Amino acid sequence: MYLLGGFTLLVLVLWGFERLYLRGQGVESYPPPTDPEAVQRFIRSGGPGPEFQQLIKVVRELTLRISIGRSHQNLQAARSAFDSISAGHEFKSEFFPVDAGGMPAEWVIAPGADKTRRMLYIHGGGFVVGSPISHRAITSKFAEITGCAVLAIDYRLMPEHRYSNCIEDCRTAYRWILNNGPDGPGEIRQLFIGGDSAGGNLALSLIAWIRDHGLRAPEAVVALSPLTDVTFSGVSLHANLDTDIMLYVYWTYKVRPCDPLVSPLLGDLSNLPPTLVQASEAEMLLDDARRYVYKACASGSPAKLQTWPDMVHIWQIFDPQIPQAVEAWVEIDKFLKDRASA
């Protein structure tokens, strides 16, 4: 009897720890924004198209290579496979390595770039894989459409490092880019922040920190399929499990998942810069994107959500192979041009 009672008590303690300490009080439900321009869906007649079917084969092969590397505890093999995502692209930009306040990074410079206008880009990869090399297709595109000098940082990855190190590196990079350009120390006229997936998580965490510390705010933020809720309470994490062929998330509880530092959705979303969030309606992080925008709008921050059906996670990296990626970049271009001229 005493043994049974002790076991029951242990179960209750563990349940309380997981439910109240790790997951916190949950996420309040926010209604869709009243502004009809704040939420947009892009649907193509006839479905995703033949280009997308070819892309599916490529993504499945890539995901398999990454998974094999991770399952054999060969992180270098997984990282090398992930870095090949941008292989085969023809880039109009040039890439220059740089020490960004003690952190390896690279400048991405398109022809005619205005080096007083800059963008900080934070790559995705589940905090485990990814680098400036893997995301050159994205950073080069940002450099082309914005005319900015794009700084792609090579922040520390897990499991060799902690999540807090990822956060520290992004903050270091932000302070550095405020005062440094491709030619060395120099003034900054405009600044944008971008990130995808895990990098989107870090970007959204960063802008809250910028606000709270009274630093110069960026003119705009672009988050592609960001992870915003590490308590994993979004319905789409389960509902889209069978339709998301690309996403995998590596996570270990180094910090409380309900801490706004790691789950931006759970923090104060007021007084943030204009933010564009894009996501696929077929991916597991759809609700992370949707709930973040709904809450940001309800908190008075200018945020916008754009979704596409059927797409893989971070399909924007496959521009111009698929028309939906081209469409996404057209919308990103319009958003950033509007913010730049505001």
Model confidence pLDDT, tens digit, residues 226-241: 999 887 665 655 554 4
Residue 171 has pLDDT above 90, yes or no: yes
The question of whether 213 is a catalytic residue gets the answer no
Q: Which two tokens stand for residue 134?
A: 């893997």
**Dihedral angle over CA of 280, 169, 145, 305, nearest 10:** 30
Q: What is the pLDDT of residue 308?
A: 97
26 to 19, 198, 221: CA distances (angstroms):
9, 21, 26
User: 3-class SS at 92?
Assistant: coil
Percent of the chain whose pLDDT exceeds 70: 83
Q: What is the pLDDT of residue 238?
A: 54
Q: What is the pLDDT of residue 3?
A: 44
Buried b (16+ CB within 10 A) or exposed e, 157-169: bbeeeebebbbeb
The residue to which tokens 């995301």 are assigned:
135
For residue 328, give the DSSP letter. H
List the catalytic residue out of 236, 283, 301, 331: 283
- Greater model confidence, 133 or 244: 133
Provide the pLDDT confidence category of residue 256 given band limits of 50, 70 and 90: low
Range in 75-79, 96-100, 118-122 with the lowest mean pLDDT: 75-79
Helix 323-341 / helix 136-146 crossing angle, nearest 10 deg: 40
Mean pLDDT over 175-185 rounds to: 97
Q: What is the pLDDT of residue 281?
A: 94
The residue to which tokens 């995998």 are assigned:
248
Which are the contacts of 215, defined by CB distance < 8 A and separation ≥ 6? Answer: 174, 175, 178
Provide the pLDDT confidence category of residue 260 given band limits of 50, 70 and 90: confident
Q: What is the pLDDT of residue 239?
A: 58
Residue 193: its H or E element: strand 190-196
The residue to which tokens 């939906």 are assigned:
324
Nearest alpha-carbon partner for 280 in 251, 249, 305, 303: 305
Residue 130 has pLDDT above 90, yes or no: yes
The question of whether 135 is a catalytic residue gets the answer no
d(CA 244, CA 287): 13
The values of phi and psi at residue 163, to 5°, are -60, -35
List the catalytic residue out of 197, 233, 236, 280: 197
d(CA 56, CA 103): 35
Domains of the chain, each with CATH number or no CATH: 34-341 (3.40.50.1820)
The question of whether 238 is a catalytic residue gets the answer no
Percent of the chain whose pLDDT exceeds 90: 66
Q: What is the pLDDT of residue 84?
A: 92
Neighbours of 266 (CB within 10 A): 26
Residue 24 has pLDDT above 50, yes or no: no
Residue 122 has pLDDT above 70, yes or no: yes
Mean pLDDT over 268-293 rounds to: 96
Provide the pLDDT confidence category of residue 59 given band limits of 50, 70 and 90: confident
Residue 249 has pLDDT above 70, yes or no: no
d(CA 188, CA 25): 41
Neighbours of 58 (CB within 10 A): 13
Mean pLDDT over 157-174 rounds to: 95
Residue 252 has pLDDT above 60, yes or no: no
Neighbours of 107 (CB within 10 A): 24
Average pLDDT of the chain, as a whole number = 86
Q: What is the pLDDT of residue 163?
A: 92
Mean pLDDT over 247-274 rounds to: 75
Q: What is the 3-state secondary structure (H, E, C) of 248-290?
A: CCCCCCCCCCCCCCCCHHHCCCCCCCCEEEEEECCCCCHHHHH
Mean pLDDT over 54-60 rounds to: 82
Which are the contacts of 68, defined by CB distance < 8 A and separation ≥ 6? Answer: 77, 78
Q: What is the pLDDT of residue 100?
A: 97
pTM as predicted: 0.87
List the catalytic residue out of 134, 233, 313, 331: 313
The residue to which tokens 């485990």 are assigned:
128
Is residue 6 left, alpha or beta, with left meaning phi > 0 and alpha meaning psi from -120 to 50? Answer: alpha
Residue 113 has pLDDT above 90, yes or no: yes
Provide the pLDDT confidence category of residue 214 given band limits of 50, 70 and 90: very high
Pairing, β 148-153 against β 104-109: antiparallel
Using one digit for the tens of pLDDT, what is the confidence trace for 142-153?
999 999 999 999
Give first-to-last CA distance, the chain, whole Å. Answer: 71
Range in 44-58, 154-168, 285-299, 326-340 with the lowest mean pLDDT: 44-58
d(CA 189, CA 116): 5
